[in-house]
Structure 1
Amino acid sequence: MQNGPFLSDSDDPFSDWEPAHDPGPAPDLSHLSLHEPLEAEWLLSDHPWAQAERARRRGEERQAAVAHAEQVGLPEWAIRAEVDAAEPDAVYRSRMRRSLEALHQADDPMYVYPPGLIGPMASMWPPPGHPAHVPGLEAGGWNNDL
């Protein structure tokens, strides 16, 4: 990872950066829902805990797909292809952020994915329902910082 300046394009899936804050080990975040607006925004953030939670959830989805493929008798090469075709997290995250923006823009044409949740500064914002990592940076505050 680079230690230099922050990203010029922080939503570039090929960029590399260091978090601005080390939030420590991730707690259990399985209760967060993509159906709750603040939770969905945070789960798609660049926060290290969000990345870990996405990896966990997507790993479970792949395991379920492989189990289903085995159950219906697909050959081993087809099962391996299913796993190999999995979208990298950076591409998935970017695609889902654009989908979330489109969904929100149906009601609010000015909505953009919160810039505070992209790049190194995302590590400063805790998930909804968790105490602030830094005093004054409570979950959901990224929507009030514009």
Structure 2
Amino acid sequence: MTNPVPSDIEIAQAATLEPIEAIAEKMGLSRADIELYGDTMAKVKLEAIDKLKDRPNAKYVVVTAITPTPLGEGKSTTTVGLGQGLHHIGKTATIAIRQPSQGPTFGIKGGAAGGGYSQVVPMEQFNLHMTGDIHAITAANNLLAAMIDNHIYQGNALNIDPYS
């Protein structure tokens, strides 16, 4: 680390990213066990759980419901920092982070990519679209809302109460 600590963007731009396939391999997963989203992001397929079930010393840690500090350190920073800390003491550790809300995209809140030396990179890809899941959920939600609105407008044969 340098003094003074560089900005988040300077740290992110200086990072050398390890291919996600190499990270999966360290977890004992093959290429067939993951669904790639570029070189730096993947989903672990559900079938891969069977490969990992016989690891008696494995631990699953959930980081949730943290009130961020005034500088914005919250769940993402804690999750990334925890993974880094475990790795630093010689433990095999991998983190999984869900796609953030669209708040950062619209400037409503800070990016959910962490900060400092505990951040997810590339943050642009992480905050803007990631794997497309949030976009798919948003599209499905909007379609359902439009269908319900139209059904009520067309006479409401199902007697949907629009006020409940």
Tell me the TM-score range normalised by the shorter chain: under 0.3
Q: Looking at secondary structure, tell me which structure has more strand per residue.
A: 2
Q: Looking at secondary structure, tell me which structure has more helix per residue.
A: 1
Which structure has the greater CA radius of gyration? 2
State the TM-score, normalizing by the size of structure 2.
0.24
